[in-house]
Structure 1
Amino acid sequence: MRGEVEPVLGVIRNALRMEGGDIELVDITDDGVVSVKLTGSCAGCPFSQMTLKNFVERELKNNVDGIKEVVAV
């Protein structure tokens, strides 16, 4: 599954970098929970949870079968 998630995160990463942020893949569980770390301007941003759920999670679920949730660590 990591091989499917990484390219999608690459697209997401490009969008976040335009705003001074970034994202790192930390882990993917067997039951489809993706753990990521938001960095740069995304770390501590008041809208980071919205970005995580409405952008990152949506894109991963739409493009990778089996993704159930995305969580920040």
Structure 2
Amino acid sequence: MIDVAITKLRSKGQIVIPSEMRDNFREGEKIVIIKSEERLILKKVSDFGKNFEEDLAFAKKNGRSMAEL
């Protein structure tokens, strides 16, 4: 099932995720934002492997995309 909601982009680039869509997220939890063309995807860092943050930093440092990892 897909849930849909409308929210606004604030002047500082902030968005509010409606409470019914963030039930599985905790305050302070790290979230990965993936941009694919005109789409943004939000996922918990914990949904990836335990070394995800290190892998992402390595990819950025070496100019590689996540798809290439």
**Shared fold (TM-score greater than 0.5)?**
no
Structure whose residues are more often strand by fraction: 1
Higher relative contact order (CA 8 A, sep 6+): 1
TM-score by length of 2: 0.29
TM-score by length of 1: 0.28
Structure whose residues are more often helix by fraction: 1
Give the structure with higher Rg (CA): 2
